[in-house]
Amino acid sequence: MYNKKDVVIKYRSRFWDIDKIGLVGIDMWNLYKNGVNSMILHTKIVINKFYVVKLSNEVLKKIR
């Protein structure tokens, strides 16, 4: 069984021009962030807005 960091590392091997990647969109899980940071040091990470909205809706649902 892979953890998410292993999946990111395996997926990275598909890219030939890894140094040209400047921006990566991911969800808010730290293992994704750690995987990307360990493989593409210079890239900026942005959170996919879908996950922000999803989390916000879950919190609002609990409050109601």
Please give the pLDDT value at position 43: 87
Task: Select from 18, 27, 20 the least CA-distant residue to 47.
Answer: 27
pTM, full prediction: 0.58
Consecutive sets of 10 residues in the chain, 64 residues long: mean pLDDT of each? 65 74 86 82 88 92 94
pLDDT of the residue at 33: 85
Can you tell me the distance from the alpha carbon of 19 to that of 28, in angstroms, rounded to the nearest whole number? 23
DSSP string, 10-42: HHHTT-S-GGG--EEEE-S-HHHHHHHHHH-TT
